[in-house]
Structure 1
Amino acid sequence: MSQNDQGQRERWDAVDHYVTDHLAPADEALSAALAATEAAGLPAISVAPNQGKLLQLLARVQGARTILEIGTLGGYSTIWLARALPEDGRLISLEYDPAHADVARANLAHAGLDGIAEVRTGAALDTLPALLAGGAGPFDFVFIDADKRNNPHYVEWALRLTRPGSVIVVDNVVRGGSVVDAGSTDPSVLGTRRMIEEMGKNPRLSATAVQTVGTKGYDGFALARVLD
């Protein structure tokens, strides 16, 4: 990384910290969730605090009563989302790794949210059909932040488990700019490109994507609304 790039990254970090301090300050449960995630040796890939607050605000603007999350990690984003729900709301988060799921469950319990948020373990492409078969949904809000190669499949399942008016958010869709590399062999890039292209063709979705910079580097997210 060049000196100029390093200075730019420090500026991004400083802006994120400034925004977070004033608009999305940490509390004990959120700080404890990040600390527990780090202590358990989970990857340091939780959403940034201001991104977590954005998810919460989007869910609240949506008036969500039911939320589906694909990719739990340590439950940090799950806490942000669950706090957007009313007392009788429901959140289901799907996590592949049992160890990650255990950390997330403990973090949700510590935050007092285990009554409305649950973590289900297993490959999402196995647990999503089980959700449908069990009559779960329709979900008002879906947040997808799991293995990127399967993003097209996750969006397909999100459409089966939502209703007209539901909102779908997909994280990490810019991939440091590599999403425009048509010659990439990276499965995460290939999966993300296919998802974006299929979103644009799907008559049931109105979607866009936004580039972001900050403590998580250069990336972005996709936002879609399910149409009638």
Structure 2
Amino acid sequence: MNQAIWSSVDNYFSEKLIPKDTVLENALITSDAGGLPQHNVAPNQGKFLHLLAKMNGSKKILEIGTLGGYSTIWLARALPGDGLLVSLEANAEHAAIAKANIANAGLSHIVEVRVGKAIDTLPLLEQEGIAPFDLIFIDADKPSNPSYLEWSIKLSRPGTVIIGDNVVRNGAVTDGGSDDKNVIGVRRFFDLMAENPRLNATAIQTVGSKGYDGFSIAMVD
């Protein structure tokens, strides 16, 4: 098995199950033109997030890490007309591109992109009384994942779903002696999930157009 096969299968799934969508395609084109890193989720992964939000009956979603707004659009499309998605993005240039993509998708009325380090903007959500959120998607800098998880729990209710992306790190997550800050952050993230009695969690390995990785999913009890 190799990357070419994984990508081919992802393409097959997307062609069969995900209709052509110029809005989402343009979001990727705009992100690439703006020099953003290609860290967005794959189309079938975006549809997966969309379906999770639908299954969860989400009315409020929190996204930690906006990038170009590709996953934001997938998630926001799962919301009802009076729903709300708050997305936190540290990089102002990335946020500007995301806002344009979200506007092009006709979702600006239910999506709010907040600029600044999430560790600074998360407390404001608590202070403003916006929480609890029904679904939280964590897809930002991995060294901060432990803090993001702690804040996600604070901003949750029983039944809230918390998803962590890119948690396998090409298998390096099993290396307890790693000095990679991303791996250390993800491992501490798993420790906190395992230790917290309010969380019922698991994790899944994935292969696809984005390579070998995976995600965690937890429900707040």
Aligned-partner Cα distance in 1 for 2:114–2:182:
23
Residue number in structure 2 paired with 1:11: 5
Tell me the secondary structure at the aligned position of residue 73 of structure 1: coil
Query: C-alpha separation between the residues in 2 aligned to 1:143 and 1:17?
Result: 24
Distance in 2 between residues matched to 1:187 and 1:26, nearest whole Å: 38
Structure 2 alignment gaps of length 5 or more: none
1:162 matched residue in structure 2: 156
- 1:14 partner SS: helix
Residue 210 of structure 1 contacts residue 222 of structure 1 at CA under 8 Å; is this kept in 2?
Answer: yes
The CA deviation string for residues 75-99 of structure 1, in whole angstroms up to 9 with x for no partner, is 0000000000000000000000000
Question: Equivalent residue for 1:111?
Answer: 105
Q: Within the alignment, does 1:214 sit opposite 2:208 as a pair? A: yes
Q: Residue 169 of structure 2 is aligned with which of 169, 172, 175?
A: 175
CA contact (8 A) 1:142 1:168 kept: yes
Q: What is the total number of aligned residue pairs between the two structures?
A: 221
Amino acid of the structure 2 residue aligned with 1:74: G
Give deviations 1:144-199, integer Å, cap 9, x for gaps. Answer: 00000010100100001010000000000000000001110000000000111110
1:43-192 to 2 correspondence within 5 Å? 43-192=37-186
Using structure 2 for the length normalisation, give the TM-score. 0.99
Q: Which runs of 4+ in 1 moved over 2 A?
A: none
Supply the RMSD in Å over aligned alpha carbons.
0.7
Task: Give, in whole Å, the separation in 2 of the partners of 1:25 and 1:185.
Answer: 42
State the partner residue of 2:24. Answer: 30
The alpha carbon displacement at 1:8 in A equals 1.3
Q: Tell me which residue corresponds to 1:204.
A: 198
- Residue range with higher mean Cα deviation, 73-82 or 16-25: 16-25
Q: Structure 2: how far apart are the matches of 1:154 and 1:204?
A: 16
Greater Cα offset, 16-25 or 148-157: 16-25
Residue matched to 1:3: none
In the aligned structure 1, how far is the partner of 2:94 from the partner of 2:13? 29
State the secondary structure of the residue aligned to 1:78: helix
CA contact (8 A) 1:70 1:124 kept: yes
SS in 2 for 1:223: strand
Amino acid at match of 2:76: A
Q: Which residue of 2 aligns with 1:4?
A: none
Query: Structure 2: how far apart are the matches of 1:198 and 1:24?
Result: 35
What does the per-residue CA deviation read over 1:63-83, in whole Å, with 9 as the maximum and x for residues that have no partner? 000000000000000000000
Looking at structure 1, the residues matched to 175 and 18 of structure 2 have their Cα atoms a distance apart, in angstroms, of: 34
Partners of 1:145 and 1:170 within 8 A in 2: yes
Determine if contact 1:26/1:49 at 8 Å carries over to the other structure: no
